[in-house]
Amino acid sequence: MAVELAPAFNPLVPAARDVVALRRVFEQIHANSCPTSFNFHMHTVNSDGQLQPEMLMQQAIAIGLQGFAITDHHSVNGYRIAQRWLDEQHSEQDRPLPHLWVGVEVTSRLLGTEVHILGYAFDPESPSMQRYLQRQAPQGGEADAEQVISAIHQAGGLAILAHPVRYKRSPEELIPQSARFGIDGVETYYAYNNPNPWQTSPEQTKRVQHLSANFGLLNTCGTDTHGLSLLQRL
């Protein structure tokens, strides 16, 4: 799926924080977008993944990704390393390189249940995000989903409910509540049983798609990579 990511250059907005381009991608995501065109859920050694950021970048280019985000838990250190690596490649290569957005995964509480909220294209220097970028899960009221969503928005980003069919409460409960709190979207396309090759889980996808459409939410996809291949979760 080809998407025009940057029809107009805005020197005041770094590419990694271009929320307009990211929203446009999310509006066009479909079941076949991951894992070879886009991938918005992956981890490095800077949280609980096995990939060094540089190795992840090399794979992303080899696969031919158009756009992606590193979503380490409570950290943007992996993103920063990857961004420096990508900047160096831009100065050395003429071929198109993938669009890297800022990303993070935050452990939160929603309806008394632990959930994960993905933040994208936010300003990592924003005061609202500092409590969530300390390499550990937030505690108390700071962990409330409403607070996490608000912090991401204050930092100029988009908030997404990760893998909504993996929690103790159903997506039919969690997605409406997260929508009331202002969530922007849901991770609609996800491989719940870690199939090889990767493919989105049909039954779960159908449930999430229905809820996403009802609440006017964006759809995302991601492999949730923790291992050594961006084409698998583990």
Please report, for the chain, the start and end positions of each structural domain, with discontinuous segments joined by +.
15-221
Q: SS3 for 86?
A: helix
- Mode of pairing for the β-strands spanning 103-110 and 113-120: antiparallel
What per-residue confidence (pLDDT) applies to 11? 58
Q: Say what the pLDDT of residue 165 is.
A: 98
CA distance 2 to 112: 40
> What homologous superfamily does CATH list for 15-221?
Metal-dependent hydrolases (3.20.20.140)
Residue ranges in the chain modelled with pLDDT below 70? 1-12, 91-94
Distance CA 163, CA 55 (A): 25
| d(C-alpha 74, C-alpha 56), whole Å | 18
∠ at Cα 117 (10, 186), nearest 5°? 80
Over pLDDT 90: what percentage of the chain?
89
Alpha-carbon distance 223 to 72, whole Å?
13
Instruction: Give the model's pLDDT for residue 91.
Output: 67
pLDDT at 3: 55
Closest CA to 124 of 82, 90, 79: 79
pLDDT, tens digit, 9 for 90 and up, residues 103-143: 999 999 999 999 999 999 999 999 999 999 999 999 999 99
Residues 44, 56: Cα–Cα separation, whole Å: 8
Best CA proximity match to 109, nearest among 181, 46, 205: 181
